[in-house]
Amino acid sequence: MAMPYVSKLAFAQSPDRPFMPIPALVNGSDGPVSLKMQTGLWSFDGKIKTPTWGLSQDYMGPVVRTRRGAELALHYENTLAEAVSIHGHGLHVTGELDGGPQRAIRPGTSWSPILPIVQEAATLWYHSHTHKRTGPHVYNGLAGMIVIDDDNSDSLPLPRRYGIDDLPFIVQDKDFNQDGTLLYNKVGLGRFYAEHMTVNGIIQPRVEVPKGLVRLRLLNGSNGRFFNFTFTDTRVFHVIAGDGGFLEEPVEVTTLFVAPGERYELLVDFSDGLPATLRSVQAERGEGTSPAFNPIQGEQTICTFEVNPRIAPDLDVRVPPRLNDIAWLDPKEAHITRHFTMATINRKMVINGRMMDMARIDHRVQKGAVEIWDLDGDVHNFHAHGCSFQVLSINGKTPPAHMKCWKDTVITDAKASFIVRFDHTASDAFPYMFHCHLLEHEDMGMMGQFTVEA
């Protein structure tokens, strides 16, 4: 049977494309952060108005900044017409505060969690985690970034001028109907791919940078698209942090594979003054960064960096030789190995043969116990709540150097394993989730629940 034809909106390529917007920055130390889920109108191309959703803004939410040792007070208010759960992805908080599907905020109501921030400096994010509706909600705009600082991040000579040389960089793909509305066209059990690459909500934007070192806080906020980033001039850049914090040392790369939900912090040197185009290209297989079956779906232009000589570079920043000390977990200390097989069986998306059931707890974990989680399946993207973990292997090989940091999301590429210790509790009423972070897979049931018991 032929697929129904969907007429998509095309955009004229123009040399004066809009600049990449910088999301508002809200500091959690200034008092409770109000995040009002609302409808909005946003232009992805600088011209056409598209109905969107946002949190206290038209599309997506502000960057929320907090600090290790602080209490981050959030006030989520739902003015939308349907219930929404909002989850802090990568946050080490209890199940009660985690914002999973059980914590639905009904229309006209609010939720005001106070989150103790106990983890190290990292770039995290918050997004809708609504039962069976996460994909369309995130696509509409219910997502935003969280930045955690700590004494270590303060002491490093890294770019830290928000919006100038320290840039939130949220990459997503979007499709549009002829009338300019967002087109959410998920095809069967496949992955969701759209045609237009956006950064911070603008299609292939121009990004203004100083003539010097720039830090990108990269979040793949796509529903289902994998990216293999590279610059057209193949310039070298440094990965300095992954999902849950800094690497021990910067890792020099020319390409970087990033799955949905993953974050990396990059340092890119623009001191040559030349413009640079960031692309996503087909990945070569190898080293766990590129799956057996290539999910990139074509080459894409992401954005163009343009050096603006009027932006003064910060002359004190550099690529530090040392970034962090990571307490590595020892596989010999693991109490248990749990297996998770992600598969499509009879058109059902399952983990260990079962679809998500809010009434079923799949695993019961002891707080403080070291565990190994062994994943297999084809190309999926596994995420666990309430923790950061250390990747032990991908497809039987040691993970690439830029994954040697705390992570919370990992591509399975046939097989992967990680070591983890859960330090926070999650009850039967508010368990943690584990799931595929391809949002359509999650919505279709590739998710389960676990408690962490004291």
Kindly report the backbone phi and psi dihedral angles of residue 369, in degrees, each rounded to the nearest multiple of 5, phi listed first: -85, 140
Place of tokens 């509305």: 181
Least distance from Cu ion to the Cβ atom of residue 385, Å: 5
How far is Cα 311 from Cα 308, in angstroms, rounded to an integer? 6
**Residue 385 binds to ligand C2O (criterion: CB under 6 A):** yes
How far is Cα 30 from Cα 32, in angstroms, rounded to an integer? 7
**Residue 159 binds to ligand C2O (criterion: CB under 6 A):** no
- Hey, is 332 helix, strand or coil? helix
Which are the contacts of 334, defined by CB distance < 8 A and separation ≥ 6?
370, 371, 372, 419
How far is Cα 103 from Cα 109, in angstroms, rounded to an integer? 12
Nearer to Cu ion, 86 or 207 (CB): 86
Nearer to ligand C2O, 38 or 223 (CB): 223
Contact of 331 with 392, CB cutoff 8 Å: yes
Out of 35, 247, 433, 438, the only residue in the binding site for ligand C2O (CB under 6 A) is 433
Residue 261 touches which of ligand C2O, Cu ion, none (Cβ within 5-8 Å per kind): ligand C2O
What angle (nearest 5°) sits at the alpha carbon of residue 107, between those of residues 101 and 110?
Answer: 75
Which are the contacts of 390, defined by CB distance < 8 A and separation ≥ 6?
326, 328, 329, 404, 406, 407, 418, 419, 420
Q: Which stretch in 150-158, 331-339, 354-362, 432-440 sits in contact with ligand C2O by CB under 6 A? A: 432-440
Out of 17, 65, 67, 89, the only residue in the binding site for Cu ion (CB under 5 A) is 89
Site track 244-283 with ligand C2O (rule: CB under 6 A), x = hit: -----------------x----------------------
Out of 441, 444, 451, 452, the only residue in the binding site for Cu ion (CB under 5 A) is 441
Q: Which stretch in 165-173, 307-315, 353-361, 434-442 sits in contact with Cu ion by CB under 5 A? A: 434-442
Helix or strand holding residue 355 (H, E) = none
How far is Cα 114 from Cα 100, in angstroms, rounded to an integer? 15
**Residue 89 binds to ligand C2O (criterion: CB under 6 A):** yes
Nearer to ligand C2O, 92 or 385 (CB): 385
Binding footprint of Cu ion, residue count (CB under 5 A): 6
Site track 328-367 with ligand C2O (rule: CB under 6 A), x = hit: ----------------------------------------
**Residue 385 binds to Cu ion (criterion: CB under 5 A):** yes
Least distance from ligand C2O to the Cβ atom of residue 309, Å: 39
> Rule CB under 5 A: which of 344-383 touch Cu ion?
380
Distances in whole angstroms, Cα of residue 73 to Cα of each of 78, 130, 329 = 16, 21, 31
How far is Cα 246 from Cα 254, in angstroms, rounded to an integer? 19
Out of 218, 283, 414, 436, the only residue in the binding site for Cu ion (CB under 5 A) is 436
Question: Taking Cα atoms as reference points, which of 405, 435, 334 lies closest to residue 87?
Answer: 435
Beta bridge partners of 243: none
Q: Which stretch in 41-49, 228-236, 419-427, 430-438 sits in contact with ligand C2O by CB under 6 A? A: 430-438
Neighbours of 327 (CB within 10 A): 8
What angle (nearest 5°) sits at the alpha carbon of residue 244, between those of residues 252 and 409?
Answer: 90
**Residue 383 binds to ligand C2O (criterion: CB under 6 A):** yes
**Residue 129 binds to ligand C2O (criterion: CB under 6 A):** yes
Nearer to ligand C2O, 64 or 214 (CB): 64
**Residue 211 binds to ligand C2O (criterion: CB under 6 A):** no
Binding footprint of ligand C2O, residue count (CB under 6 A): 10
**Residue 402 binds to Cu ion (criterion: CB under 5 A):** no
Q: Which stretch in 89-97, 102-110, 211-219, 352-360 sits in contact with Cu ion by CB under 5 A? A: 89-97
Which are the contacts of 16, defined by CB distance < 8 A and separation ≥ 6?
none
Distances in whole angstroms, Cα of residue 430 to Cα of each of 110, 218, 261, 366 = 17, 30, 22, 16
- Residue closest to ligand C2O (Cβ): 89
- Tell me which residues touch Cu ion (CB under 5 A): 89, 380, 385, 436, 438, 441
Note the residues at the interface with ligand C2O (CB under 6 A).
Answer: 87, 89, 127, 129, 261, 383, 385, 433, 435, 437
